[in-house]
Amino acid sequence: MTVTEGGVSVADGAVAADSSAQDVAAIELVDVAKDFGGGADSVQAVRQVDVAIRPGEFFSLLGPSGCGKTTTLRMIAGFEEPTRGRILLYGDDMVGVPPYRRDVNMVFQSYALFPHLSVYDNIAFGLQRKKLGKSEIAWKVQQMLEIVRLEGKERRRPAELSGGQQQRVALARALVNQPRALLLDEPLAALDLKLRQTMQVELKRIQREVGITFIFVTHDQNEALTLSDRLIVMNEGLVEQLGTPHEIYEQPATKFVAGFIGTSNVLQGVVDRIVGARAVVVPADGEQVLVPATGLRAGQQVELTVRPEKVVIHAGGEVPAGERSAVRGTVTDVTYLGTSTTYTVSRGDESELVVFQQNASSPTAAARPGDIVWLSWLPEHSYVFASASHDSRSPDTAAAS
Amino acid sequence: MKRGRLLGAYTGLVIAYLCLPIFVMILFGFNDTKGRYNFTWQGFTLSWYRHLFDIGGLTDALVNSLTIAVFATILSVVLGTTLGLAIGRYRFRGKAGLDLMLFAQIATPEIVLGASLLSLFISLGVPRGYVTILVAHVMFCIPFVAITVQARVVGLDRSLEEAALDLGATPLVTFRKVTLPLIMPAVLAGGLLSFALSIDDFVTTSFNAGQTSTFPLWVYGASRIGVPPQVNVMGTLIFVVGVGFAVVTAFSNRQTRGGREVGAR
Ligand SMILES: Nc1ncnc2c1ncn2[C@@H]1O[C@H](COP(=O)(O)OP(=O)(O)O)[C@@H](O)[C@H]1O
Ligand SMILES: [Mg+2]
């Protein structure tokens, strides 16, 4: 990124980058894979990732520990070379380019602040490498200190700062270079809950303020859903789903996503018939679940999901009516949580459904353990999983594996 | 209470035990001795400080010892630091063997090493003298530097160097701006150790010195006819400079230590 005289505010720089590359992805991973070690004991850290991240986006990689998030991020930063595939930064292939020539910066999980340098020199490190003038560096560092709210701390050593302040220095040290993308590897994981929540808000504010593309790695689903514009859910080196937080939560594409994000109920059944745009799945005699018919045919065995808060519990022998999905079971557990009540309902086939019910001002008859009840929900609240767990796999890799 | 006093007394005794020889050395540098022997106190004088360089052979020997110690320190710090970085950071073929060799070098009796080195020089036809002393000193100093540096490198957070690369520093600049400052305390400690080992080495030096004399060799030779008080004065000066260096090193160590814990988090 070029710098004009007198310095450029961080936001200006990012906007310029955006407009010059409106339709180009900021970062694009094309069929990227990474194996560690050769031969028999090689580890497939990343099996296949295809994703295009838009300029200015807050994009998250979400998944359980060991699913390949850090490895993916390190490949973008240039610390690992992919075994296969291409990594494009605004259309330029970055594979083979060393980290010190890539216009991206990273915030490390351990912060990796230079302990022998002051806060000022930590933040100025990248600018000094670009051989900027002293006054320009001072001006930019000062501006950055303001953005991360650390004015007056520039003479301190990192060891003299609290965890949250160190976090801000790490952020400032990366952002001051106006990278074309900022990579963050679980930056909030080391902070306690309260501070983490504060920093989440801060991070979002800073990202909006500087307008730089953020690629954010986390294993915390709440964090990812709160902060992201879009995210991918990863599992065992593969992308399970790409979408907005709303899409990921409301329409989990795979059983894994449904289980990983929040609480989900999973039902099994056979497609009985297709009626217009809807398929009728029959989990057991007398029951029905209505789902979108897309890609389904009669006789097919499917798995589907519904979120606990979408389910209505019909206590006192009431029977659901109308265009609703309906299943029955025996209440095994009732937990009163003040504003809501959680019911666990056991079904004939040993499976269990969890139901969250708001405690309204005029409660309907409450179900008690041992009651046999109907559960119902609207057709648009159920989603059928793809038959393979990894539905996002492209046909060629599916064949190869 | 009682226990505390006992411990205090014990500590005092140990310190006295350690310091007494040094105290005697310093004191007898001021002894107004008349004969050939400097064993009994005969009054205070500063004349040995004034006539420090009056004994030609002793002065030459001291100059040899000092210059050899300086060169040996520089060379073993450069070679030992790079070696320490390599064994602290990378896994490579023969690393286990190298680790073992460094410890074996320290553990082997010096007299054996000195004698073997002499036979090596003789069989290669290398004339013994200043250079062979230097070679021998560098050899026995390298392991001390390498092992001190290795210990520091192992405790160093790798992501610090990655952060430097990420911020646009080439590998060379990363080494200069991040790695080296962070391992500096270990490098200094290794250097100090090397200097101390070199300047008073007697065993190895005596095998490989040829006609060249060093401070320890000269003192040993003189001890049969009486050691002049100038030797005490020189010992005192070396001691003072050595303590000065040690204090500086300890201080710079303390300055970086706080930061190191942050890096390791
Ligand atoms: N340098 C490495 N050498 C060997 N295996 C590695 C290395 N880095 C990561 N792995 C392995 O790759 C997998 C993915 O790791 P990682 O990307 O760190 O996951 P995450 O960040 O999602 O927790 C893990 O099984 C891990 O053990
Ligand atoms: Mg990780």
Distance between start and end Cα atoms, chain B: 40
- Domain hosting B85: range is 56-233+241-264
Chain B CB contacts of A115 below 8 Å: 160, 182, 256, 258-260, 262-263
**Out of A111, A126, A190, closest to residue B167 by CB:** A126
Specify the residue for token string 């994000």: A261
The nearest alpha carbon in chain B to A119 belongs to B259
Q: What is the mean pLDDT of residues A23-33?
A: 92
Q: What is the mean pLDDT of residues A18-31?
A: 75
Ligand 1 lined by A75 (C-beta under 6 Å): no
Residue A399 has pLDDT above 70, yes or no: no
Each residue's pLDDT tens digit, A93-151 = 998 999 999 999 999 999 999 999 999 999 999 999 999 999 999 999 999 999 888 99
> What pLDDT does A392 receive?
38
Give the ligand 1 atom nearest the CA of A46: 14
Each residue's pLDDT tens digit, B96-147 = 898 899 999 889 999 999 999 999 999 999 999 999 999 999 999 999 999 9
> What pLDDT does A292 receive?
85
> What pLDDT does B256 receive?
57
pLDDT bin (cut points 50, 70, 90) of residue B253 is low
Specify the residue for token string 């937080």: A245
Residue B53 has pLDDT above 70, yes or no: yes
Check CB contact under 8 Å for B159 and A110. Answer: yes
What is the rounded CA–CA span in Å between residue B144 and residue B150?
10
Strand A104-107 and strand A92-93: the pairing is unpaired
| B117 and B211 part of one domain | yes
- Report domain extents, chain A: 5-103+179-250, 263-381
> What pLDDT does A193 receive?
87
Ligand nearest to the CA of A45: 1
pLDDT exceeding 70 applies to what percent of chain A? 89
Give the ligand 1 atom nearest the CA of A67: 22
DSSP letters spanning B200-231: T--HHHHHH-TT---HHHHHHHHHTT---HHH
Token pair for A171:
């952020």
Distances (CA, A) of A150 to A141, A153, A184, A401: 11, 6, 20, 51
Question: Higher pLDDT residue, A76 or A199?
Answer: A76
**Out of A77, A100, A159, closest to residue B262 by CB:** A159
Half-sphere exposure of B81 (CA within 13 A, CB side): 20
For residue A185, report the distance from its CA to the centre of ligand 2, in Å: 7
Check CB contact under 8 Å for B258 and A157. Answer: yes
For residue A70, report the distance from its CA to the centre of ligand 2, in Å: 4
Ligand 1 lined by A47 (C-beta under 6 Å): no
Least Cα distance to B88 among B142, B140, B145, B149 occurs for B149
- Alpha-helical (H) ranges within A235-376 are 245-250, 255-260
> What pLDDT does A122 receive?
97
Is CATH 3.90.340.10 what the domain over A5-103+179-250 is classified as, yes or no? no
The number of distinct structural domains making up chain B is 2
Ligand 1 lined by A237 (C-beta under 6 Å): no
Question: Residue B40 falls within a domain, yes or no?
Answer: no
Ligand 1 lined by A79 (C-beta under 6 Å): no
> What pLDDT does A318 receive?
78
Any idea what DSSP says for residue A320? -
Question: Higher pLDDT residue, B28 or A40?
Answer: B28
Check CB contact under 8 Å for B259 and A110. Answer: no
Q: What is the mean pLDDT of residues B168-194?
A: 94
Residue A386 has pLDDT above 80, yes or no: no
How much is the ipTM here? Answer: 0.78
> What pLDDT does A268 receive?
87
Least Cα distance to B29 among B41, B18, B11, B20 occurs for B41
How many Å is the maximal CA-CA distance in chain B?
71
Question: Residue B37 falls within a domain, yes or no?
Answer: no
| B116 and B28 part of one domain | no
Long-range residue pairs from A144-148, CB within 8 A, at least 24 positions apart, any chain: A144/A10, A144/A172, A144/A175, A144/A176, A145/A119, A145/A172, A147/A10, A147/A172, A147/A175, A147/A206, A147/A209, A147/A210, A148/A172, A148/A175, A148/A202, A148/A206
What is the rounded CA–CA span in Å between residue B98 and residue B247?
32
> What pLDDT does A363 receive?
57
Which class is domain A263-381? mainly beta
Each residue's pLDDT tens digit, A162-193 = 988 999 999 999 999 999 999 999 998 888 88
Check CB contact under 8 Å for A114 and B162. Answer: no
Question: Residue B253 falls within a domain, yes or no?
Answer: yes
pLDDT bin (cut points 50, 70, 90) of residue A32 is very high
Chain A CB contacts of B265 below 8 Å: 110-111, 190
In degrees and rounded to multiples of 5, residue B234 shows phi and psi of -60, -45
Least Cα distance to B254 among B195, B188, B166, B167 occurs for B188
Each residue's pLDDT tens digit, B57-73 = 899 999 999 999 999 99
Strand A352-358 and strand A27-36: the pairing is unpaired
Pair A210, A360: CB distance under 8 Å: no
Residues in chain A: 401
Each residue's pLDDT tens digit, A257-288 = 988 988 888 888 889 888 888 889 988 888 88
Residue B260 has pLDDT above 50, yes or no: no
Ligand nearest to the CA of A67: 1
| B221 and B161 part of one domain | yes
The nearest alpha carbon in chain A to B159 belongs to A112
What is the rounded CA–CA span in Å between residue B154 and residue B177?
18
Check CB contact under 8 Å for B259 and A157. Answer: yes
> What pLDDT does B245 receive?
83
Residue A36 has pLDDT above 50, yes or no: yes
Ligand 1 lined by A56 (C-beta under 6 Å): no
SS (H, E, C) B74-132: HHHHHHHHHHHHHHHHCCCCCHHHHHHHHHHHHHCCHHHHHHHHHHHHHHHCCCCCHHH
Ligand 1 lined by A211 (C-beta under 6 Å): no
> What pLDDT does A128 receive?
95
Q: How far is A17 from chain B (nearest CA, A)?
A: 19
Residues β-bridged to residue A335: A342
Ligand 1 site-directed mutation target among A35, A44, A71, most atoms within 8 Å of CB: A71
> What pLDDT does B169 receive?
95
Distances (CA, A) of A134 to A131, A149, A352: 9, 22, 66
Strand A84-89 and strand A27-36: the pairing is antiparallel
- Sign, Cα dihedral of A245, A249, A250, A255: positive
Ligand 1 lined by A114 (C-beta under 6 Å): no
Interface test with chain A among B174, B177, B262, by most A beta carbons within 10 Å: B262
pLDDT bin (cut points 50, 70, 90) of residue B1 is low
Q: What is the mean pLDDT of residues B164-169?
A: 96
> What pLDDT does A294 receive?
82
| B71 and B26 part of one domain | no
Residues β-bridged to residue A265: A306
| B18 and B62 part of one domain | no
Q: What is the mean pLDDT of residues B149-153?
A: 94
Q: What is the mean pLDDT of residues A2-27?
A: 52
| B129 and B69 part of one domain | yes
Half-sphere exposure of A60 (CA within 13 A, CB side): 26
In degrees and rounded to multiples of 5, residue A373 shows phi and psi of -130, 160
For residue A315, report the distance from its CA to the centre of ligand 2, in Å: 46
- Is B155 part of the contact surface with chain A (CB cutoff 8 Å)? no
Check CB contact under 8 Å for B265 and A173. Answer: no
Question: Residue B50 falls within a domain, yes or no?
Answer: no
- State the amino acid at position A201 in one-letter form: V
Q: What is the mean pLDDT of chain A?
A: 86
Question: Higher pLDDT residue, B190 or B255?
Answer: B190
pLDDT bin (cut points 50, 70, 90) of residue B186 is very high
Specify the residue for token string 């390791």: B264
pLDDT exceeding 70 applies to what percent of chain B? 94
Q: What is the mean pLDDT of residues A196-207?
A: 90
Question: Residue B46 falls within a domain, yes or no?
Answer: no
